[in-house]
Amino acid sequence: MRPMRTWSKLLALATLVAGACGKDEAPPARSSGASGEQARSERDRPAKAPAGERKAIDPATVGGVRGVVHFEGKAPERKKIDMSAVGGCPHDGNVLTEQVIVNDGRVQNVLVRVKSGLEAWIVPPAPSEPAVMNQKGCVYTPHVLPIRVGQPLVIQNSDDATHNVNVRAKRRKNENFNQIQMPGQAPIEKTFGEVEVAISFECNLHPWMNAWVAVVDHPFCAVSGPDGSFSIEGLPPGEYELEAWHERLGRATARVTVAQGTSAEASFTLKAP
């Protein structure tokens, strides 16, 4: 266990993580009798205590979770994307598919979030600073973007190519839209009103373009890096259920206990499809 950083740094990090840090192609949740949409809704949304029963988070007591997402099986080969016939998509070197990225047995682009355990706490509000999804080199960046419910999302086109931003949300309060965005055009600005893990972003003009926006209701989430590692900071002491989500490899859960001023360890293993 390591001592935690100061609350001001933790709060700044939590805000940044919330802003940068989630067609649902992940395997459906197993359900006993509930409809598919109901099962997805219950899976994404944790129960919440009444507002009057929730407590403020004491900065002096917070801890965190650190961990790694491992891969089991034979990793799918990443394929080269052929952009030779497309203008306005400059790149240095090859561009590879991003649906499954495994490096030395560890998985990149996995959303890890606290799924339950926060019901008794007042979480920080959604930031007013927008999260940003960019289209650059005919690739969405980042590939997985967590965003808070109600937080502004800015969708940019940094290419000399025209794109269409085709968003396939499934929740009632989240908008489906399909907008053309030409070079130099102003950013598209949207907000999402409901938890959804995750919403598909596509471009039909460049069919390899795909990304995911995970809409969450608290800042306690992270996206695994190239080495499969993740870190969630600023959690009050308690027991938590964590969920790891990947667009092709599905979901996994883990339980951790966060003690005051310390970081708990968590590990996930996702298997080849």
Reported as a pLDDT band with limits 50, 70 and 90, residue 98 is very high
CA distance 273 to 74: 9
Long-range contacts of 154-158, Cβ-Cβ distance < 8 Å, separation of 24 or more: 154/130, 154/187, 154/188, 154/189, 155/181, 155/187, 155/188, 155/189, 155/190, 156/132, 156/187, 157/181, 157/182, 157/183, 157/184, 157/185, 157/187, 158/134
Could you report the per-residue pLDDT of 219-244, keeping only the tens digit for each?
999 999 999 999 999 999 999 999 99
Instruction: Please state the pTM of the whole predicted model.
Output: 0.82
CA distance 259 to 243: 19
The answer to whether the CB of 140 falls within 8 A of the CB of 153 is no
The answer to whether the CB of 236 falls within 8 A of the CB of 58 is yes
3-class secondary-structure state, position 239: strand
Q: What domains can be seen in the chain, in order of their start residue?
A: 7-271 (2.60.40.420)
Could you report the per-residue pLDDT of 196-218, keeping only the tens digit for each?
999 999 999 999 999 999 999 99
